[in-house]
A and B are shown apart, each in its own frame.
Chain A
Amino acid sequence: MKNKLKLLLFVPAFLLSSCNFTYSYVVAGLDASSGSGDVIDDGIEDSGTYDIKIWVDDAIVDLTRTQVQQFVNDNGTKYKINLTIEPQSEGNAASSMLQDVTEGADIFAFAQDQLARLKVAGAVAKLNSTYLNLVSERNSEDSVKAATIGSSVYAFPLTNDNGYFLYYDKSVISDEDAKSVTTIMAKCKAKNKTFNFPARGDGFYSASYFLGAGCKTSWDINEETGAFTAYHDNFHEANGLKAAKGLREVADKSVVSTDAIASRLGERSAALVSGIWNYEVAKNRLGDNLGCAELPSYTVDGETIHLGSYDGFKLLGVKPQVNSKKASVCRKLALYLTSETCQTERFNTVSWGPTNVKSSQEEAVVNHPGLAALAKQHEYATIQSQCPGTWYLHLATTAKAIETSSTDAQLQAILTNYKNGLPDLLSDD
């Protein structure tokens, strides 16, 4: 009723986008198989039957179902889980949770930049010391930092690959060409192909120019309320001007497309800046011609600047439960789903980069071309921290405005507008 009314009130057209497909499936533990060592005992007696709803990306719905079954088996059929798995992109998890937290999933995957929103809405709770120790022990330091607000950790690290790197077609662009934006664009232009780089359309990518030039942005969060209280941002200063000048180069619409679509590689497109989620498609399109590398450099006033990027992570959140036994089961399940076993399985199935220390040291992971490129870019990358979701839109608008300006004074005016817009992004109260 409440949800329906909300729709009536504000978002009639939301109906279009809310056509989710629901998979319902009952996992009944029948036979106990050997444990994998990922089962933990926190001393809470919680055997029983639970209705658990999980949101994960479409690509791992089936895998997750198997893993939940495995969890049940490992625990010696102590649990009976009535499982509902719904495909939900990690980018939209927060928006969907915020519609109505009580109706949202119990366990859900999300991109780390949504952590603050989820915390404000009460969709995630702090991890207690037992879990905090296990999570910190098993996962890379950066990934745990990604799940941290203030001094507390709020979610389980899931993947370390929510950053971006360069895909290119070796038949058009040589490994050496791939080191510079200018040559990539020249080679693409010569072959009448596009360089797909969303730097002007998406703040997450626009940031690469600014971060590369040495700009910094960080936002203070009130740990109690999750509200953004202050910002420290120097995108409008001298380094920002360099970045803005660099961005003007990719405003050439005859070569650069802002669509990050991997399926165009090899056909209309010869290079793409995107993340590991496009690896399989890119591989299928280009085969042996697929090149993966760290991001290229851009040149401003004779100075060569390597593009920066965000090192982003995907996290697994557990919604605070009314029932403490269910809360315990959900946390155990989330811990299991982010364990070494599950992360390795996920890498093997969909090439998602593990945050688990052991899992990420496996040979296959280290040698994976996409993940290797991401690892090389890591040197120039900034750990993505919490900022208001609208900041990315604000930055994209700024990058968009840059394309029509020609003089330094105009660029500076745009950057000043950017700075002046920042206070509006802070939380009201």
Chain B
Amino acid sequence: MKQYSDLELLRLSRSQKFGYKVGLFFKRIPLWFKNLGIKIWGFIKGIGLGIFNWFKTIIMTFIQGDWKTKVSYFVMGFGSIARGQILRGIIFALFEVVFILYMVFFGGHYLSRLYILGEVESAVDAESGTIVYGENSFNILLYGVLTLFFIVAFIYTWNLNIKQNRISEQIIKDNKKLETAQDDLRAMVDKEFHKTLLAIPTIGILIFTVLPIFFMILVAFTNYDANHTPPLNLFGWVGWDNWAQLFTWTNSDGASFSMTFGQILLWTLIWAFFATFSNYFIGMLIAMLINKKGIKLKKLWRTVLVFSIAIPQFISLLFVSNMFKTDGIINGILGTHIDFWGNAILARITVIVINLWIGVPYLMLVVTGILMNIPADLYESANIDGANPWQQYSKITLPYMLFITGPYLLTSFTGNMNNFNVIYLLTGGGPNVQEYYGNAGKTDLLITWLFSLAVNDSNYKLAAVIGIMVFIVVAVLSLVVYNIIPSTRNEEEFQ
């Protein structure tokens, strides 16, 4: 295919240009895959090289190091103590002792059972009404993963211990002074202060966020459900079985999990889109109205709107849910019997509208501040140039707003995808329909469906699959959008 220069391209007719671009697109596909392949290969090679280099360093340090270093390979901290760095040495040694004790008395057992998640079943003796608990798959999985974490931490520390020896040897060789315990302690509040500060949050995140995420990912590969509930019953590994359900498009005559997932994902995205942008534009409109010169009692209007924030959603949403029932207040006032929650389309519209009432005040508060920051001279010069209010809005206010609130829009979009409160408290996910699997309803978001699968059906395995899918969808969306929005670029570029 001929490559056109820019000038040649301009001379082409519209259809020719289109054809050229389509051709170019297809021509570039193999190249794209080739580049992707090269990148992946580079990544794998990088990892391979990294591991190779690490092993090389470890082995070379052992060969070239003195006897103190050699002993440190087995007794952590020995080299440090022998060279007078008592505090470091003791910490290393202590860590090794704790690790060995942990593995012998606790972690080792769970780790050794992790491959099968337990075999010994509980035994109930009906005669005496007693039970002898067998192995607990839940604990094995949980503590097994914890032990894996601990092993990684141990390898890291062990490596650190080797590195210390290497550095110390070098320092002694160079006839310099080694750091004393006092130096170390001082460094903790001075040069290394960031590490001191971050130690506790990091450990907290590892235990309370990363560990459960790992656990949840692993649950998606087990048969943990109502019939495999610890402590009485065991659950075990089933490989990709649960995932196969997600990608199987036919499931006899009944409703299929995959189809339901697709439909609910679609509605989740639609909901997130409308919930985010309806709030955004209406909130902005209200803020602009209240900000207008000549509007009286500005503070009163703002306060009235903020009231809906002051009442806990748990209370207000349940109340509103009742208001919209067939025999609720709304129907009473209208003199009708509209089934707001029973009709799928109506229910979807109603939740979006009610969400406005909850979300708009926040937007109004956020936008009010930003509006006041837009330089007034922009509007003045626009006025002189004869721009009408719509032009002023679309050329000045909106671009400015989008630039400032881009990240906010993104987080509120992902937040709405997981907006459990509004949906669960208003509709409970209903109305339920026959076409959906697992008693899902037409207003169910992935997160509320996950909740009812886990809590009502104890179907943890499929809940875990959905959880991972939610993560993937949110992560991909966030990354792509974050890279597109202008806010992440230099402010100077904003015109």
Q: B139–A2 contact, CB under 8 A?
A: yes
Given A125-B126, A125-B129, A268-B327, does the pair A120, B138 have CB atoms closer than 8 Å?
Answer: no
Given A257-B325, A320-B130, A421-B255, does the pair A393, B454 have CB atoms closer than 8 Å?
Answer: no
Q: B138–A2 contact, CB under 8 A?
A: yes
Number of A-B contacts (CB under 8 A): 163
Given A394-B439, A401-B433, does the pair A125, B229 have CB atoms closer than 8 Å?
Answer: no
**B212 interfacial contact with A, CB 8 Å:** yes
**B451 interfacial contact with A, CB 8 Å:** yes
Q: B454–A12 contact, CB under 8 A?
A: no
Distance of A393 Cα from B216 Cα, bound (Å): 27
Distance of A320 Cα from B438 Cα, bound (Å): 31
- B residues near A290, Cβ cutoff 8 Å: none
The residues in B between 221 and 248 inclusive whose CB is less than 8 angstroms from any CB of A are 223, 225-227, 229, 231-233
Distance of A120 Cα from B225 Cα, bound (Å): 11
The residues in B between 451 and 465 inclusive whose CB is less than 8 angstroms from any CB of A are 451, 454-458, 460, 463-464
Residue of B nearest to A8 (CB): B212
Q: B433–A397 contact, CB under 8 A?
A: yes
Distance of A35 Cα from B226 Cα, bound (Å): 43
Q: A10–B455 contact, CB under 8 A?
A: yes
- B residues near A398, Cβ cutoff 8 Å: 434
Distance of A98 Cα from B138 Cα, bound (Å): 13
**A417 interfacial contact with B, CB 8 Å:** yes
Q: B212–A414 contact, CB under 8 A?
A: no
- A residues near B126, Cβ cutoff 8 Å: 125-128, 152
**B30 interfacial contact with A, CB 8 Å:** no
Given A9-B215, A10-B450, does the pair A122, B122 have CB atoms closer than 8 Å?
Answer: yes
Residue of A nearest to B228 (CB): A429
Q: B-facing mask of A299-331, CB < 8 A → 1, else 0?
A: 000000000000000000010111110011011
Given A128-B127, A320-B131, does the pair A11, B325 have CB atoms closer than 8 Å?
Answer: no
- B residues near A324, Cβ cutoff 8 Å: 128-130
**B401 interfacial contact with A, CB 8 Å:** no
Distance of A8 Cα from B205 Cα, bound (Å): 12
Q: A9–B432 contact, CB under 8 A?
A: no
Residue of B nearest to A419 (CB): B253
**A375 interfacial contact with B, CB 8 Å:** no
Given A120-B226, A259-B327, A397-B439, does the pair A12, B420 have CB atoms closer than 8 Å?
Answer: yes
- B residues near A396, Cβ cutoff 8 Å: 432
Which of B208, B225, B253, B455 contacts A428 (CB under 8 A)?
A: B225
Which of A2, A12, A125, A323 contacts B124 (CB under 8 A)?
A: A125
Write the nearest CB–CB distance from A221 to chain B, whole angstroms.
12
**A400 interfacial contact with B, CB 8 Å:** yes
Q: A95–B455 contact, CB under 8 A?
A: yes
Distance of A323 Cα from B225 Cα, bound (Å): 28
- B residues near A421, Cβ cutoff 8 Å: 254-255, 434
Given A95-B455, A128-B126, does the pair A429, B227 have CB atoms closer than 8 Å?
Answer: yes
Report the interface size for chain A: residues with CB under 8 A from the other chain: 65
- B residues near A331, Cβ cutoff 8 Å: 129
Q: A327–B227 contact, CB under 8 A?
A: no
Write the nearest CB–CB distance from B28 to chain A, whole angstroms.
43
The residues in B between 427 and 485 inclusive whose CB is less than 8 angstroms from any CB of A are 431-435, 437-439, 450-451, 454-458, 460, 463-464, 467
The residues in A between 378 and 429 inclusive whose CB is less than 8 angstroms from any CB of B are 389-390, 393-394, 396-398, 400-401, 403, 414, 417-418, 420-424, 427-429
**B339 interfacial contact with A, CB 8 Å:** yes
**A13 interfacial contact with B, CB 8 Å:** yes
- B residues near A274, Cβ cutoff 8 Å: none
Given A9-B216, A122-B131, does the pair A98, B254 have CB atoms closer than 8 Å?
Answer: no
**A16 interfacial contact with B, CB 8 Å:** yes
**B252 interfacial contact with A, CB 8 Å:** yes
**B132 interfacial contact with A, CB 8 Å:** yes
**A21 interfacial contact with B, CB 8 Å:** no
Which of B130, B326, B434, B438 contacts A257 (CB under 8 A)?
A: B326
- B residues near A122, Cβ cutoff 8 Å: 122, 124, 131, 231-233
**A33 interfacial contact with B, CB 8 Å:** no
Q: Identify the interface centre among A393, A398, A401, A424: most chain B CB within 10 Å of its CB.
A: A424
Q: A120–B455 contact, CB under 8 A?
A: no
Which of B232, B342, B432 contacts A121 (CB under 8 A)?
A: B232
Write the nearest CB–CB distance from A272 to chain B, whole angstroms.
12
Q: A330–B129 contact, CB under 8 A?
A: yes
Write the nearest CB–CB distance from B325 to chain A, whole angstroms.
7
**A194 interfacial contact with B, CB 8 Å:** yes
Q: A427–B215 contact, CB under 8 A?
A: no
**B142 interfacial contact with A, CB 8 Å:** yes
Residue of B nearest to A397 (CB): B432
Write the nearest CB–CB distance from A350 to chain B, whole angstroms.
26
Q: B208–A8 contact, CB under 8 A?
A: yes
**B421 interfacial contact with A, CB 8 Å:** yes
Distance of A11 Cα from B457 Cα, bound (Å): 13
Q: A414–B434 contact, CB under 8 A?
A: yes
Q: Identify the interface centre among A10, A98, A401, A421: most chain B CB within 10 Å of its CB.
A: A10
Write the nearest CB–CB distance from B444 to chain A, whole angstroms.
13
**A101 interfacial contact with B, CB 8 Å:** yes
Q: A5–B450 contact, CB under 8 A?
A: no
The residues in B between 113 and 152 inclusive whose CB is less than 8 angstroms from any CB of A are 122, 124-133, 138-139, 142
Q: A5–B434 contact, CB under 8 A?
A: no
Q: B132–A322 contact, CB under 8 A?
A: yes
- A residues near B131, Cβ cutoff 8 Å: 122, 125, 320-322
Q: B327–A401 contact, CB under 8 A?
A: no
Distance of A327 Cα from B128 Cα, bound (Å): 7
Q: A98–B229 contact, CB under 8 A?
A: yes
Distance of A321 Cα from B128 Cα, bound (Å): 9
- A residues near B460, Cβ cutoff 8 Å: 10
**A218 interfacial contact with B, CB 8 Å:** no
**B158 interfacial contact with A, CB 8 Å:** no
Q: A11–B231 contact, CB under 8 A?
A: no
**B337 interfacial contact with A, CB 8 Å:** yes
- B residues near A424, Cβ cutoff 8 Å: 251, 254-255, 437-438
Q: A128–B255 contact, CB under 8 A?
A: no
**A39 interfacial contact with B, CB 8 Å:** no
Residue of A nearest to B448 (CB): A13
**A253 interfacial contact with B, CB 8 Å:** yes
Write the nearest CB–CB distance from A382 to chain B, whole angstroms.
23
Distance of A114 Cα from B339 Cα, bound (Å): 31
Q: Identify the interface centre among B208, B251, B458: most chain A CB within 10 Å of its CB.
A: B458
Which of A13, A117, A128, A259 contacts B325 (CB under 8 A)?
A: A259
Distance of A102 Cα from B339 Cα, bound (Å): 43
- A residues near B319, Cβ cutoff 8 Å: none
Q: B-facing mask of A20-32, CB < 8 A → 1, else 0?
A: 0000000000000
**A68 interfacial contact with B, CB 8 Å:** no
**A254 interfacial contact with B, CB 8 Å:** yes
- B residues near A423, Cβ cutoff 8 Å: 252, 254
**B54 interfacial contact with A, CB 8 Å:** no
Q: B327–A320 contact, CB under 8 A?
A: no
Given A268-B327, A427-B227, A428-B223, does the pair A418, B434 have CB atoms closer than 8 Å?
Answer: yes
Q: Identify the interface centre among A2, A9, A11, A14: most chain B CB within 10 Å of its CB.
A: A9
Q: Identify the interface centre among A13, A127, A414, A418: most chain B CB within 10 Å of its CB.
A: A13
**A227 interfacial contact with B, CB 8 Å:** yes
Distance of A378 Cα from B421 Cα, bound (Å): 41
**B314 interfacial contact with A, CB 8 Å:** yes
Q: B233–A120 contact, CB under 8 A?
A: yes
Given A2-B138, A10-B460, does the pair A102, B128 have CB atoms closer than 8 Å?
Answer: no
Q: 11 A-B contacts, Cβ less than 8 Å apart?
A: A5-B211, A98-B229, A102-B231, A120-B229, A128-B128, A253-B339, A322-B133, A327-B128, A330-B129, A403-B342, A428-B225
Closest 10 CB pairs of A and B: A122-B232, A320-B131, A420-B253, A126-B126, A327-B129, A10-B454, A253-B337, A254-B337, A397-B432, A393-B439
**B residues engaging A (CB < 8 A)?**
122, 124-133, 138-139, 142, 208, 211-212, 215-216, 219, 223, 225-227, 229, 231-233, 251-255, 314, 325-327, 337-339, 342, 420-421, 424, 431-435, 437-439, 450-451, 454-458, 460, 463-464, 467
